[in-house]
Amino acid sequence: MTLKIIHAHEGEIANRTGQPIFEGDVRGRTIVDATLSEHVAASYVHFQPGARTRMHRHTSDQLLVITGGVGQVGDTHGDHTVAAGDCVFIPANEDHWHGAGNTGLPMVHMTVTLASSQTTVL
């Protein structure tokens, strides 16, 4: 394997609305999957106003990079507002949710986990 450039226009933006982890209108574009890496998984997730994930946890750490809009991230300690340029580090097995939340605005983030990470929706 050699260096690979993944251009912004590459990849399909797929409807993820209705998947068990999501509430509201959500779309996503996979950036890195098992066909490219056995170690890392990454995707962009587009949340329309009010859309978010349900409370869940991952077996690996997760990094969220907010690339557009304003959103919220919640954990057992409360809800936190995030905006484009912010990063969120979520340790493995921490209960959390993220998305546009009740900001009234859309939000886009890149999510990065270990490829082997398992997600449990609570």
pLDDT digits (tens, 9 = 90+) for 61-76: 999 999 999 999 999 9
Total-model pTM: 0.95
Stretch 5-9: mean pLDDT: 92
Q: Does residue 7 register a pLDDT over 90?
A: yes
Q: Point out the least confidently predicted range of 3-17, 49-63, 87-101.
A: 3-17
User: Which of the 8 DSSP states describes residue 8?
Assistant: T
Q: Does residue 1 register a pLDDT over 80?
A: no
Enter the tokens of residue 59: 């077996």
Return the domain boundaries, the chain. 14-121
Enter the tokens of residue 16: 């993820």
Q: What CATH superfamily classification does 14-121 receive?
A: Jelly Rolls (2.60.120.10)
When computed from its CA atoms, the radius of gyration of the chain, rounded to whole angstroms, is 14
Count the neighbouring beta carbons within 10 Å of the beta carbon of residue 100. 25
Find the Cα–Cα–Cα–Cα dihedral 80, 16, 13, 93, rounded to 10°: 50
Rounded CA separation 69/99 (Å): 10
